Structure 1
Amino acid sequence: MILKKMTPVITTQERDPGRWMVLFACIIAVLMVAIDSGILTLIVPAIQKDLNAPQATIGLMSSISTLMLAAFILGGGTLGDIYGRRRLILIGTGGIVAAAILSMFAASAGALIGIRAMDGVFQALVNPLALAIIVITFDKEERPKAIGIYGATLGIMGGFSSLAIQYFNQAFGWRSVFTLVIALGLLTIFLMLRFVCESKASGNKKLDWQGILLCAAGLFALIYGISQASGAGGFFSAGVVIPGVIGLIILGIFIWWEAHVESPALELSLFQKPAFSLGALLILLFSFAQTGVFFHLSNYFQVLLKKSPVESALMLLPLTLSLFVFSIISGGLVNRFPIRSLIVTGTLIFSFSLFLFSLLISPELTIWTLVIPMLLLGGGMAIANIPRTNALLSSAPPTLAGVASATNNAFMQLGNAMGVAVTVALVTTFGRNYYLGELTKAGLDEEQIKKVNELLQKVLSSNVPSISAQFAIPQEQLKGLVGNYQAAFTTGVTQMMLVSAIALFLAAILSWFWLRSYQNNQKVVE
């Protein structure tokens, strides 16, 4: 009897049938954080009027939760790796719900700032760990699809949530919008308990408290300094330079500490991989550019075009829909085309869309004027960002999933915070230079320019006929003054868009050379 040689059967681990509900739970958790972190930006006018808060206080109130999220996000990823990712998401979600309830009953702007600061710390426990759970739940074959669905769903739900926030704000008052956060928080807790299993990193990883605090202090000082650049002194004022330099020094000490500590909060070894280091840089630039576009277009629509908050949100829907559609498409492209080609192509499209914005924005624009650049922006970002995210997270070992996700989200939140701080400063600087230049050309001296600015503030807060009658100034002169302001505002926004376009174009060139070792099908030549 002849025995035949048996060929061993290679089996693969059976996929968890409940993995898609895990994905849904993580999407709801991150959507809750996204809405919660950006909610005050949308309802600032109502809060300012109700609480009689000064502009400086409003600015800090709007950015404080994002600052705290960016500052402590590395700590959230590390805590999840050590003590359990689901456990930390539940704790963070409970804190966010509590902060939302307190925000509804805040009696003053100062109290709201303190609540929002605490809220940002709790957001840092949820944001990085949801994406880390997705990474360890899906294998390499399904991960791009899952990340594509994750990005697309967040994009479309985020767009419609802006409409919901503005509707609640207009119909029931600004305090009512926090019920959306509470509802999403309760849903997150239910889904996490019902569908998500606990996971943590193997080994005896320790918590790097010193590193976390150094990172938090450095990022806070840096972003706070940048946020002051919109003042009269510009980027080179003491209020910008001093905290900025202090922040950079602290971050330098943080990097030194992370290179020498046994269990660092930031794994510097991850940055030795091209996919990870470039991915972190790109998400910083993508978030910076996208946040700048959303923030300034919404502001432009409401301030210059006199659109209501709801109308402004509707005008931005083409961008949101484009992000949704192309995120779905991009998830299927990752396994079919070289990663480098997708990232470079998407970044170039993103850059070109910003260049079109810089050409087309004007006080006479309509929704149809910006449809093409909006579609290109959403498509370009999705085509580049889905493979970028997959490449970055796949380059990290499973034991560092929380740290890798936290690092990715830290750069994203840093980009979001800088996207508001830096672009506001750029728009203000470009617009101020144009406006002062026009007044100087007209022969006005410094004292006359000051009086013109005071009059302009009254014009913008009232209307031309009433100001004309009050000060006995011809309406044509006042209309010319407003026209100069509109041109200055437009110049500031368009030049900011052009600066962002150039930055992304350079990033595309850098990506082509930096990822030359990256091969098809997500393979890195080690």
Structure 2
Amino acid sequence: MTQTAPREAPPGRRPGPRGGPWGTLVAIAFGVMMVALDGTIVAVANPAIGADLDASLAELQWVTHGYLLGLAVFLITAGKLGDRYGHRRVFMVGVVGFTLTSVAIALSSAVVPLVAFRILQGVFGATIAPAAMGLLRSSFPPDKLGRAFGMFGSLIGGATAAGPIVGGILVSAFSWHAAFLINIPVGLAALGLGVWLLGPNRPTDTSSRMDLPGIALLSVAIFALVWALVEAPVKGWAHAETLTVLAVALAFGTVFVLWERKAEAPLLPLGIFRSAPISIGVVLMVLMALGLMGSLFFITFYLQGVLGLTPLQAGLQLLPLTAMMAICATPAGRLIDTVGTRVPTVGGLVSASVALFMLSRLTPDTGVVYTSVGFVLLGVGLSMVMTGATAAILTSAPVSLAGVASGMQQAAMQLGGSLGTAVLGAVLSVRVAATLPGHFGDAGLELPQGEGLAALQSAVAQGSAVVPEGASDAVAQAVTRASHLAFMDGLFLAFSVAAAVMAGAAVLSLFMKPAAKEEGAEGGAAPEPAVHL
């Protein structure tokens, strides 16, 4: 049936900043930026972590994937907790937990505990993002929601893309530990602003119960899927363990869907996907994150490994990308308020596709101007897609499900990030393994055998070269050149795939209907969007 519920009047008209829409935005800013920053700050810190803790490429991927795993598994559940118990309360708990786990990560002296704390950090991060979005949705009037989501997108996009710069500065000046200790002052600022500016805790869905079977089924399904995406490039997509874990993900996902169809209080009402903007928006969030996280992960290896830049120099080289992601989301939000979500989203995906195509043509001798143009186009495009897809999902969901819808949007983004680094990493590694013998042969070099070859391929896939001990300068240069050419072959194929994915997403986004204008008095309440249940 179709239910239409009255939307709660935004509580933003009381005098003073506390509880008002812009005060709410300021209050959540530091928490949101802290979560987004930690998703990419390790991109520059990864080489230093690997050298200090003697980590392999697979282990370094888990430093990234562990965080994304914790986020992806818990996001929808955290959104439900915010709807049920109040987004303010959940937000504050998340900020405290995130700050404490950041300290634990910085104090880690081995890869295993570091990854474990990264997963826990992701869980606490999952409580922050949906709660922040739920606070925005219930605080801003309908005619300013696009602008609010644009500002929110600027916070996430700017912090996500600023990670490499901040990481580069901290790693260069201190060590990789500082990339996580920076969360102490940021977390304290988020906590203080939350106490000062956020209004009273107001649950939006007090009548529902927690769907414990649904939570368990969805958590196992997402965990198994992300695990398979991380391990498949190492063990092989046809390996028995990979196929088994994928089967577990499929089985639990199927049972989850069947359970949600009959549950009295479902964790994720499946009727929400009958809304085309929501369904398409979720898919676009996955694809957008695939392009962003995948490109950031491997472009850092290019900048540091192939071009020989320091962490700080690599971060500065990415400045055009970081600046565009921070700047463009807010104008995109204003544009969405005027013309709807389709036009900005299509334009953003086209821009991102062109940018990734350009970056696939990088060489060891590419100049700064060319890469900067590619980064500008990528930053502009991805910021518009992030804002457009977020607005499509959140404005099409009822206020009572704002937390769940936000959790779904964020989970799609984190799953896309894991998909990007895993799938593009697999493409790159396969291509490196295929072309490395030819480049070594052309240079008159012999490849090692057995474990030595596997170690060499792993190093080359990170943009590095393994020079034999005692080798002459001529041999060292030949090994380095051959290794970098093989890496560039892999980068070309991986980024070409990403560009094709963005182009396909642009076609899909053409089916997004422009957001309907909501009638009503200025800033007044409007009907809640209809949801078919």
TM-score, normalized by length of structure 1?
0.87
Q: Which moved more, 1:233-242 or 1:247-256?
A: 233-242
Amino acid at match of 1:211: G
Instruction: Name 2:207's counterpart in structure 1.
Output: 204
The higher relative CO (CA closer than 8 Å, separation ≥ 6) is in 2
Q: Is the 8 A contact 1:223 1:421 kept in 2?
A: no
Q: 1:45 aligns with which of 47, 67, 77?
A: 47
Q: 1:504 aligns with which of 497, 502, 505?
A: 502
Change (3 A) 1:374 1:130: same
Q: Which moved more, 1:286-295 or 1:143-152?
A: 143-152
Instruction: Name 1:372's counterpart in structure 2.
Output: 373
CA distance in 1, matches of 2:90, 2:10: 31
Instruction: Name 1:5's counterpart in structure 2.
Output: none
Instruction: Name 2:62's counterpart in structure 1.
Output: 60
Unaligned regions of 5+ residues in structure 2, if any? 1-8, 520-528
Q: Is the 8 A contact 2:229 2:422 kept in 1?
A: yes
Which aligned pairs between 1:10-409 and structure 2 lie closer than 5 A?
A: 15-16=13-14, 18=17, 19-53=21-55, 56-197=58-199, 198-231=201-234, 234-359=236-361, 361-409=362-410
Secondary structure at 2:471 match in 1: helix
Q: Is the 8 A contact 2:357 2:499 kept in 1?
A: yes
Change (3 A) 1:381 1:439: same
Amino acid at match of 1:490: M
How far 1:76 moved relative to its partner? 0.4
Change (3 A) 1:393 1:106: same
How far 1:477 moved relative to its partner? 5.6
Change (3 A) 1:161 1:467: same
Q: Deviations over 1:65-119 (max 9, x none)?
A: 2101101111100111111111111111111122122223334333323322222
CA distance in 1, matches of 2:91, 2:405: 16
Change (3 A) 1:277 1:439: same
Q: Is the 8 A contact 1:458 1:467 kept in 2?
A: no
Greater radius of gyration (CA):
1
Amino acid at match of 2:370: T
Change (3 A) 1:216 1:299: same
How far 1:403 moved relative to its partner? 0.7
How far 1:412 moved relative to its partner? 0.8
Change (3 A) 1:510 1:107: closer
CA distance in 1, matches of 2:10, 2:183: 40
CA distance in 2, matches of 1:82, 1:116: 27
Amino acid at match of 1:223: V
Q: Is the 8 A contact 2:289 2:417 kept in 1?
A: yes
Change (3 A) 1:415 1:12: closer
CA RMSD of aligned residues (A): 3.0
- The yes-or-no answer on 1:423 pairing with 2:424 is yes
CA distance in 2, matches of 1:156, 1:246: 36
Amino acid at match of 2:490: G
How far 1:47 moved relative to its partner? 3.0
Q: Is the 8 A contact 1:128 1:405 kept in 2?
A: yes
How far 1:222 moved relative to its partner? 1.3
Q: Is the 8 A contact 1:518 1:525 kept in 2?
A: no
Secondary structure at 1:43 match in 2: helix
Amino acid at match of 1:376: L
CA distance in 2, matches of 1:522, 1:362: 50
| Count of residue pairs brought into register by the alignment | 506
Amino acid at match of 1:505: A
Secondary structure at 2:210 match in 1: coil
How far 1:484 moved relative to its partner? 2.9
Q: Which moved more, 1:97-106 or 1:118-127?
A: 97-106
Change (3 A) 1:366 1:396: same
Instruction: Name 1:8's counterpart in structure 2.
Output: none
Instruction: Name 2:5's counterpart in structure 1.
Output: none
CA distance in 1, matches of 2:80, 2:454: 50
Q: Which moved more, 1:45-54 or 1:269-278?
A: 45-54
Q: Is the 8 A contact 2:11 2:138 kept in 1?
A: no
Instruction: Name 1:6's counterpart in structure 2.
Output: none
CA distance in 2, matches of 1:358, 1:288: 15
Q: Is the 8 A contact 2:229 2:418 kept in 1?
A: no
Q: Deviations over 1:476-526 (max 9, x none)?
A: 5654443332222111111111111111211221221x32x5466489999
Secondary structure at 2:141 match in 1: coil
Q: Is the 8 A contact 1:298 1:312 kept in 2?
A: yes
How far 1:241 moved relative to its partner? 2.4
Instruction: Name 1:491's counterpart in structure 2.
Output: 489
CA distance in 1, matches of 2:445, 2:368: 37
CA distance in 2, matches of 1:397, 1:452: 55
Change (3 A) 1:57 1:345: closer
Secondary structure at 2:337 match in 1: coil
Change (3 A) 1:243 1:26: same
Give the percent of matched residue pairs that are identical in Structure 1 and Structure 2.
27
Q: Deviations over 1:346-404 (max 9, x none)?
A: 22222122122223x11111221112221111222223332321121010111111111
How far 1:237 moved relative to its partner? 2.8
Q: Is the 8 A contact 2:467 2:476 kept in 1?
A: no
Change (3 A) 1:388 1:303: same
CA distance in 2, matches of 1:61, 1:383: 28
Change (3 A) 1:479 1:173: closer
Q: Is the 8 A contact 1:267 1:403 kept in 2?
A: no
Change (3 A) 1:478 1:99: closer
Secondary structure at 1:174 match in 2: coil
How far 1:62 moved relative to its partner? 3.4
Amino acid at match of 1:222: L
Unaligned regions of 5+ residues in structure 1, if any? 1-10, 470-474
How far 1:416 moved relative to its partner? 1.4
Change (3 A) 1:103 1:438: closer
Q: Deviations over 1:264-305 (max 9, x none)?
A: 222211110000000000000001111111111111101111
Q: Is the 8 A contact 2:79 2:131 kept in 1?
A: yes
How far 1:418 moved relative to its partner? 1.6
Q: Is the 8 A contact 2:38 2:163 kept in 1?
A: no
Q: Which moved more, 1:308-317 or 1:158-167?
A: 158-167
Instruction: Name 1:412's counterpart in structure 2.
Output: 413
Change (3 A) 1:426 1:452: closer
Q: Is the 8 A contact 2:161 2:325 kept in 1?
A: no
CA distance in 2, matches of 1:457, 1:128: 37
Change (3 A) 1:154 1:16: farther
TM-score, normalized by length of structure 2?
0.86
Amino acid at match of 2:425: V
CA distance in 2, matches of 1:458, 1:58: 12
How far 1:310 moved relative to its partner? 0.8
How far 1:55 moved relative to its partner? 5.0
Q: Deviations over 1:26-82 (max 9, x none)?
A: 221111112234444432333334344555444433321210110111110011111
